[in-house]
Amino acid sequence: MAKYAYRDKDRKNIIYSDEAIEVDRNTAFFCPNHMCNAKLYICAVDGSKSAYFRATKPNFKHIKNCPFGNSSTEFDSNNYDESQFVYEDAINNLLCNTKPSSQKRTPSVHGTGEPGAHPPRILRQIYSLCKSFSVGNTYAGKEIGSMILDDRSEYRYSKGCFGNRIIEATVDGRLYNDEKKEVYLVSPINSKKYTFILSFSDEDKYKKIRSEIYNNRDKIIVIAGKWESSGEYNKFTSKVYGAKQVAIIK
C-alpha cells in the first residue's frame, strides 16, 4: 500500500493519496518503485487522510519485495507528532542497548498530531515514514532522502553512505563471518551498489540477528546504523548493538 504514486511512467508527476479526488478513482497510477509495473488505484478518496494506493488488478500486482506493496510499511501521519521528531535523536536512540526511553512526553503547544501522539520512534515507524513520502519531501524539516538510502535516494549518495542513516538492504552472496561477528548486506536493493558490514561485539546478539536475517534472506532488511568507511571501496560499517537497529519487512 502506497501513500503516493505517479501519473506517468517516467515518475515525474507525483500524486499523494490525500490529494486524490473522485475523478482519480478509475485512473491507473504507477508504483513509486521504477522496477515495479504494478497499476495502482486509489482506495477511499474524498481527500481522506487514510486513502492509499493499491494494486487491485490481478495482472498488475507489485513485484515480489516491492516496498510499496507491503501493508506493514504503511504510515499514518495522523498517529504521530511530527513537531517532536528529531531525526538524529531518533536514530541515536536505536543505536544503544537500552529500552526505548520512557513514555514521558514533552508538552508542546505546537503539536500537530492527535492528542497522545508521539514522534515516530521505532525503526519500522521511521522506515514507513521514509517510504510514504518521496525522497525530496521533508518531515520535521529533514529531507527524506537524507534519512534513508534506497533505490530512490541512491543518487544522493554518490560518495557513499556516512553517519546516521537507515539503509534498505538485502542479502547478496556471503551473509556472515562468525569469527569476526559480522553480517554483510547490500544496498540499495536493485543496484546493490554498496556493501554494509554489521559489526557486533555481543555474541548472543550477533547469533540472534544473524539467524533472523539468514531466515529472511529473501526479504527486505532495514538497518539503522552510524556508518563509516570500512577502508574498502564502497564498503561501509556500523556497530550493531541490538535488535532495535534491525527491521525485516515481510
* Contact footprint for Zn ion (CB under 5 A): 31, 33, 36, 38, 62, 66, 68-69
Element (H, E) at 129: helix 123-132
Measured at CB, which residue is nearest to Zn ion? 36
Least distance between Zn ion and beta carbon 243 (Å): 28
Least distance between Zn ion and beta carbon 127 (Å): 16
Among 232, 91, 97, 64, smallest CA distance to 149 is for 91
What distance separates the 2 farthest-apart alpha carbons in the chain? 60
Half-sphere exposure of 71 (CA within 13 A, CB side): 3
Nearer to Zn ion, 33 or 125 (CB): 33
Contacts of residue 89, defined as CB under 8 A and 6 or more positions apart, other chains included, come to: none
Half-sphere exposure of 145 (CA within 13 A, CB side): 12
Nearer to Zn ion, 55 or 185 (CB): 55
Among 36, 39, 83, smallest CA distance to 64 is for 36
Nearer to Zn ion, 66 or 94 (CB): 66
Classify 76 as helix, strand or coil. coil
Element (H, E) at 107: none
Least distance between Zn ion and beta carbon 66 (Å): 3
Least distance between Zn ion and beta carbon 237 (Å): 31
Nearer to Zn ion, 38 or 224 (CB): 38
Nearer to Zn ion, 131 or 210 (CB): 131
Least distance between Zn ion and beta carbon 200 (Å): 33
Nearer to Zn ion, 69 or 225 (CB): 69
Half-sphere exposure of 135 (CA within 13 A, CB side): 18
Least distance between Zn ion and beta carbon 188 (Å): 15
Least distance between Zn ion and beta carbon 121 (Å): 27
C-beta of residue 81 within 8 angstroms of C-beta of residue 110: no
Contacts of residue 149, defined as CB under 8 A and 6 or more positions apart, other chains included, come to: 157, 161, 165, 166, 167, 168, 187, 188, 194
Nearer to Zn ion, 66 or 249 (CB): 66
